[in-house]
Structures are given as structure tokens and as C-alpha cells.
Structure 1
Amino acid sequence: MNSAYNFPNDESEINRLDLTHSMQVKAIGYELYLAPLKPEIQRILDCGTGTGIWAIEMADFFPNAERKVPPNVKFEIDDLEDTWVGNQPYDFIFSRYMAASLTDWPKYVRNIYDNVKPSGWAEFQDYNFMLDCDDGTLEGTEVWRWNDLMMDTCKMLNREAAPGPKLEDWVRATGFRNVRRQDFKVPLGPWAKDPHLRDVGMCNLVQTLDGLEGFTMKLFCGVRGWKPEEVLVFLAGVRKELKAGNIHGYLNYYVVYGQKPEGQEE
């Protein structure tokens, strides 16, 4: 990403991102991706790669992909919202967990479309960061207030924190064909009856607690003008509610993939 990135980037955040990767893989059925890729593809791009764990794991599945990082993986720093220059087109471009990081999603999707080979695929996995709840246990809580303030702060920064529900429309409007969408629930805490969702929810609770102070402090102090001690007092109540396990909130997670038509210019 670029210098406008508004979240932590330290060692504890690296550990949290690796846990979040595991959670997202579990959430969609223990898969790294859902697009129907052929095993012989060679060029794969992971946008906003974070710690690089997805790209490194993908290298094991696609040994033909261009060459301790496996020799067929390389990392580049660039601004995903600028026009991409100097890149050869890719067989597969993957974008995940970019919510609250971008200002112009249609342009971003267009950049991806323009850099996919004809008949190549792109896949987007992302959230609506506004917590949902089916039984009223979220309403009026400190967790709800924190979530609402986070969404509002992202809006103040012109960062889209709920791209997930809009992904399919953006992908179709850009020109992708054979577009498919799948929606998944990511509980916040191990409250679900289903063992799989309970496991995903536990991962989500841990990564949320691990990152809570870091990204809240940076946004609330840097954007909303809160004092650090105000943030700490507020988050004490949020943590208490999260650990109590009485709130049955969840995030909606969306996977959308599509194929660039044959005959389209790269």
C-alpha cells in the first residue's frame, strides 16, 4: 500500500495478519481461493499482500508460477490506487482484506482488469466491517459503539469500510464475465452452535482483541482527536464485553471472482 495506509504495521500486527489469514482460509472452507484456476498458470499477483503468507502458500500449489521466500515468489511495493505501469499481465490476480484501505474501488477493480490476461481470472475477498447480529445482543453495547465509530472514522478518511456487498456490481461493471459470488459468516467470538463457525469465531475474537488497541488508537487519536487515555478507557469496556461472550455479532465476508473475456486488450 502507500503512505496513506491508516493502520499499524509493526510486529504484533504482522502476527495478527497471519492469524487473520488462517481465519479467512477457514471461513471459505479451508481454501486459499475459489476461482476455477488451471494448475499450469504461471503469473499470480496478490494485491495488498500483507505478510505475504497467502502468496507463499500459493507457491506450493502452483510450482510453475514465476520464480526463506520460495524462488517463485517476489514482493513489490507500489500504490494500488495509482495507474499500474510496467507490469506484464497476470493469469490470476487476488485481492483480499482491503476494506477501509482504498478510496476508489471502481478504479482499483479496473486496474486489476487491465492487468489480467484475456481468459485470466481475478478474485476479490472482502468484508462489510459493520457488525451484524440476528438476536439483538449487539444493540446499545460498547462493542456496537466502537464498531459504529470505526465505520464513521473510515468515512471521514474517505476509506470504504464495507466493500464486500458491492464487489459483484463493480466486477460485472468492469467487464468481467463468468462472475460468481459466495457469502460467508465470520462470527465475532465462539458463540455459534456449528463447530466450524465456532472455530472461525474464536480466531476472529483473538485477532480482534490483538489488534483492538493498535488500530483504534491510531484512528481515534489521529482522526477523531481523542486523547490516548480516553481510548484506553473506552476499549476496556469493549474488551470486557467481547470476552464475556454475550454478544452474538458477526461480519459478512464476500468472495467474488470473474474471468476477463478472450480478445480483450491487456
Structure 2
Amino acid sequence: MDRSSWSSTDNFSTVTETADREQTTTTTNYAPANVEVDLSYENDTAYGDALTWYSGSLTSSALDYRHENGRRYHKYRDGSYLLPNDDTENDRLDMLHELCLQVLHRRLHLAPIENPRRVIDLATGTGIWAIDFADQYPDCEVIGCDLSPIQPTSVPPNVKFLVDDIESEWAYDRHPFDYIHARYLAGSIKDFAKLIAQCYRSVKPGGWVEFQDWDVYPTSEDGSLDGTGLRRYYDEVYGAFEEAGYEVRPGLKLEQWFRDAGFVNIHVEKFVIPYGVWPKDPHYKKLGAWAQAQAESSGYEGIALAVLTRYKKWTKEEVLVLASQARADARRRDIHMIFNFYVVYAQRPEN
């Protein structure tokens, strides 16, 4: 597909060069100047089916997990990751996978990799990206790494999953990777600069590293988000993540982290993702439907429970009230919330 046809709005690219480091950065912005509201939304029922769950849950391994406030959490390196790993959360992660495919027009990656032989997917979650990638590249060894062994057991023969903490020193990089992939790590990593430097050391000269991630603080072009329960939810929840030491806006900073690590040929692509089916443009309407679907599947509670109860001493009931208020506002047709999503990929120099 012609990438220029991805958006109904104007795209722009800029190229900058740094002579002393021979770096090139290409920035492509797929974020429109504004996302037009569909005034016929009152009578729009075409996207109701899109708010159903994307796939059935994947079978989780029966391990000694941490159970808290009615949700299940990882036990290995207990407390490192603050979101659940139960079936409800796994379904949400699979819906986020579909949302990313919609954003990237069914592409698993944007980095121009060719015939990769060894690839790792960091914080693989349910493993759905690693499995799809292994199907697409059957001659490639694909490793999925995560704190939780929640991946399915029936997978392509060229996939294997490891339980490990990607913020610790890697013990599986003796043979460098052709390509390293990570996505939506916002709120789960404390030191992105260190992680990306580890990626630099672990990818082959000429190999590519790609991160796809959020600025988790939403905006609204018409100010409709101001003063709402939604705004309070994101301020309270992600403010707590930041106080706990987690980076929640990595999308904005990935380019600099890649540059500081020594990467070249850095490409930055920014996408707008609306929340809900209020946009007039069919593409943005579909993205909004998937964004709402994943949040409706207990996403508000799942993201907020551990960080607010462990770090801010909220009660479970207080968190549920906050989540309920956010969900109620999210269903309002006069609130036009959008998120910015970034895809940044870069190359380790050949020399």
C-alpha cells in the first residue's frame, strides 16, 4: 500500500543531519491538523460491532501469581509491572494489537528489515505480535520475553518465549539480533535510556530497533476534555505512575534516546488515535472504536488499581468510582478525546 494514502490529511517529512555523528532523522507526521467530528454520530450504529472483543482469551500458565483486588498480577520480580496479567487484561492486550494493526494498515513493523534471522519482542505480553511475526518470517528465530508466562503453548516452531525482566542485564544476547521490537511500554519501564542502550549493544551492526509507544496523556482539539472525569482519571493515574518512577510519555522522547544511544537513520512517525466513534473520517472512526473497545474491557480499572492502591493508598472502592466516572465521560458524544502514538525505528551503524 502506498504510505502516502494512509491519511486523508497532509503528511510532512523532515530530514536533519548531524555531521559529527553522521546521523539522519526522518520525521513523518500522520497526525492531522484536526480530526473532524462526525455530526451524524447521534444516529451512527455501524461501529457497535467493533466494540466487541477482538479475540478469545489465551490460556494462561497455572503459576503462583499475585492476587489482589480481584485481579491477578505477575509473581516473578513481583511489583515491577503494575498492570494485571489475567485473562481480562490479556484480551485487552490482544485488542491493542488489533488497534496497532489498524493504525499501521496491517503492518507488524515499519523498519525496513529484510530476511531477518533472529528477532526479539520485548515485553511480549500475550505473544500475539511474536506469533504473527513468526508466521510472516518462517525462517526467522523469534523470541518473546516477558515477566509473565501467559503466552499460548501452541505456537509456530520458530517461536519461543522467555520469562525475564528486560530492565535487567540480558543473558540471551550472546548472538546479536537482526531486529528488536517493543511497543506500548509506557508505564512499565523506569529507565528507557538504559533499555535502548541495551538494544544498541544487542542488535547487529546494520540491524534495526523499533519502539512503538504512547504519550498517554490525552488531548482534545476543541477543549471538550477539560474538567471531565476522564481528565481527572488520566491525571490521577498517570501522575501516580510518574511518582512511582515510571515513564508514561515515552513516545515524545524516543527519538532523543535513540540518538543518545548511537543509532543512525532514525525515523519518527506520529499517529493520532481518537477515542470513540465520533470522527467523521472512516479510518479514524474505526481506530476510535478499537480504542474504546480495549478501554471498555476493564481497562480503566486494570490500569489504575495497583498503582493507586499500592502507591497512593486509595481503596479499591475509590479506584472503581474513579474508573466509573471516566467510563461514563468516555461514552459522552460531546467529548472528543485523542491520543498521540509514535513509531520510532533506527539502525545501528554498520561500522
| TM-score, structure 2 normalization | 0.73
Residues paired across the two proteins, number: 262
1:230 aligns with 2:306: no
CA distance in 2 between partners of 1:232 and 1:66 (Å) = 42
Report deviation, 1:2: 4.1
Q: 2:8: which partner in 1?
A: none
Q: Which runs of 5+ in 1 are unaligned?
A: none
Q: 1:60: which partner in 2?
A: 135
1:156 aligns with 2:243: yes
Aligned residues: CA RMSD: 1.3
CA distance in 2 between partners of 1:235 and 1:129 (Å) = 16
Q: 2:328: which partner in 1?
A: 240
The residue type equivalent to 2:348 in the other structure is K
Report deviation, 1:227: 1.4
Q: CA, structure 1 residues 86+30, in 2 after alignment: closer, same or farther (shift >3 Å)?
A: closer
1:10 aligns with 2:86: yes
Q: 1:49: which partner in 2?
A: 124
Q: 2:32: which partner in 1?
A: none
The residue type equivalent to 1:82 in the other structure is S
* Secondary structure in 2 matching 1:76: strand
The answer to which structure has the higher helix fraction is 1
CA distance in 1 between partners of 2:317 and 2:350 (Å) = 57
Structure number with the bigger relative contact order (C-alpha 8 A, sep ≥ 6) is: 1
Which is higher, the Rg of structure 1 or of structure 2?
A: 2
Aligned residue among 95, 107, 128 for 2:215: 128
The residue type equivalent to 1:11 in the other structure is D
The residue type equivalent to 2:192 in the other structure is W
The residue type equivalent to 1:53 in the other structure is I
Q: Choose 60-69 or 141-150, whichever is displaced more.
A: 60-69
* Secondary structure in 1 matching 2:239: helix
Q: 1:200: which partner in 2?
A: 287
CA distance in 2 between partners of 1:175 and 1:252 (Å) = 25
Q: 2:276: which partner in 1?
A: 189
Question: Does structure 2 retain, via aligned residues, the 8 Å contact 1:129–1:251?
Answer: yes
Deviation track 1:44-84 (CA, whole Å, cap 9, x = no partner) reads 11000010000000012111102711000001111111121
Q: Which runs of 5+ in 2 are unaligned?
A: 1-75, 143-153
* Secondary structure in 2 matching 1:145: helix
Aligned-pair identity in percent equals 40
Aligned residue among 65, 72, 77 for 2:158: 72
The residue type equivalent to 2:313 in the other structure is G
